[in-house]
Amino acid sequence: MYDKNNVFAKMIRGEIPTTKVCENEYAFSFYDINPMFSTHVLVIPKGEYKNILDFTKNATPAEIAGFWQCFADTADKLGLECEFNCVANSGANAPFIKQSVFHFHLHLVAGERKPAFHEQLAAEFK
Ligand code: AMP
């Protein structure tokens, strides 16, 4: 079940502010509020999908194409070519990093690790 009150749904509705990097009809990207790396951007679809599998199985071809176009435009705008990571956490009990916002998002990270990265890893694996 998709929770319409999650923080990204509120961003999509314009109820809370965000710093957008790129946007198209189906998706947008914005800076993570708690960056783990010197570059830490999230890419989200505008449609209501709770995780990567929900999006992959249920989004329309236009939504999927729009999402990946936004990803590519974001990488271009940030000057990323090959030195980065993309991460999609799925589920409150995911084995590596847990999902905390239940609207599908891709983390796009690059550059230097910030202290928050080490703090989160320590918290996840304590
Ligand atoms: P995840 O653990 O994969 O669900 O990651 C959710 C991400 O959303 C975290 O990295 C948070 O820092 C980020 N986040 C939560 N609220 C906001 C917000 N208002 N603006 C930008 N990023 C946010």
Report CA(101)–ligand 1 centroid distance (Å): 7
| 7-124 homologous superfamily | HIT-like (3.30.428.10)
CB 9 within 8 Å of CB 44: no
CA distance 59 to 56: 6
pLDDT at 120 over 90: no
pLDDT at 23 over 90: yes
pTM above 0.95, yes or no: yes
Among 18-22, 56-60, 119-123, the range scoring the smallest mean pLDDT is: 119-123
pLDDT of residue 124: 83
Give 116 or 79, the one with higher predicted confidence: 79
CB 88 within 8 Å of CB 51: yes
CB 22 within 8 Å of CB 28: yes
pLDDT of residue 125: 83
Ligand 1: which of 3, 5, 15, 42 to mutate, most ligand atoms within 8 Å of CB?
42
Token pair recorded at residue 106: 């891709």
Report CA(32)–ligand 1 centroid distance (Å): 6
CA distance 79 to 101: 27
User: Position 115: which residue type?
Assistant: P
